[in-house]
Amino acid sequence: MNRLARGLAVFGVLASGAARADVQVRCTAPEDQAAFEIGALKSEMTVLATSCPGADKQYNGFVERFRPQLVSSDAAVNGWFKRTYGRNAQRQYDAYITSLINAQSENGLKQGTNFCPRTEAVFDEVMGLHDGSSLPQYAAGKDVLPSDVGTCQAPAAPIVKVRARRATSKHK
């Protein structure tokens, strides 16, 4: 499946109305934080590419140029979900990505007619980076990780209900 079709497929998830994740925007490990921010930048670029005429070519250029960093950040984010959620990692990852794209799309809708014109500027900025090593810092500075989408939010410890044994006293 080509990149644009994948982007459209991901964008189509927006109609599913998945619930948002809990608020948590900082990771304990800086490398995890950087991976989530690069992933959020890629997601933002996907939203731009699928929403704005002609932006798909710019998106493809972005993906080609920064492929190693994007693949690495995807692997790190997937690794975090596997470490954190175990067998439920894929479901939790899918819910996170859906929440992220929904939040970014809502932000785009709030911008109205300014959304697509800013596309060219964002693509120009990111493509103007010296190399891929600048991508984490750029992503961190763009604030593309909405504060209402959970990042590095570990699941709460399960509540264990303990049944108290009834003290039975037998009267003789």
The confidence score (pLDDT) of residue 114 equals 85
138, 140, 146, 147 alpha-carbon torsion, rounded to 10°: -160
Q: What pLDDT is attached to residue 168?
A: 54
Residue 148 lies in a domain: no
Query: Is the Cα torsion angle 29, 39, 78, 137 positive or negative in sign?
Result: negative
pLDDT in tens, 66-101: 999 999 999 999 999 999 899 999 999 999 999 899
Task: Please indicate, yes or no, if residue 36 is contained in any of the structural domains.
Answer: yes
Contact between 13 and 141 (Cβ < 8 Å): no
DSSP 91-102: HHHHHHHHHHHH
Q: What's the start-to-end Cα distance of the chain, in Å?
A: 79
- Residue 42 domain-assigned? yes
Q: Decide: 43 and 97 in contact? Cβ < 8 Å.
A: yes
**Considering the domain boundaries, does residue 49 fall inside one?**
yes
Residue 27 lies in a domain: yes
Instruction: Give pLDDT, residue 29.
Output: 82
Instruction: State residue 170's pLDDT score.
Output: 56
- Please write the tens of the pLDDT for every residue from 122-158: 889 999 999 999 999 999 888 787 776 766 765 544 4
* Domain-located, residue 97: yes
Tell me how many domains the chain contains: 1
Question: Is residue 147 included in any domain, yes or no?
Answer: no
7-47 tens-digit pLDDT:
443 444 333 333 334 333 467 788 888 999 999 999 999 99
pLDDT level of residue 107 (50, 70, 90 thresholds): confident
Q: For residue 19, what are the domain limits?
A: 3-142
Confidence at residue 66, expressed as pLDDT on a 0 to 100 scale: 96
For the chain, where are the alpha helices, taking DSSP H only?
3-12, 30-51, 55-65, 67-85, 89-111, 117-127, 135-142
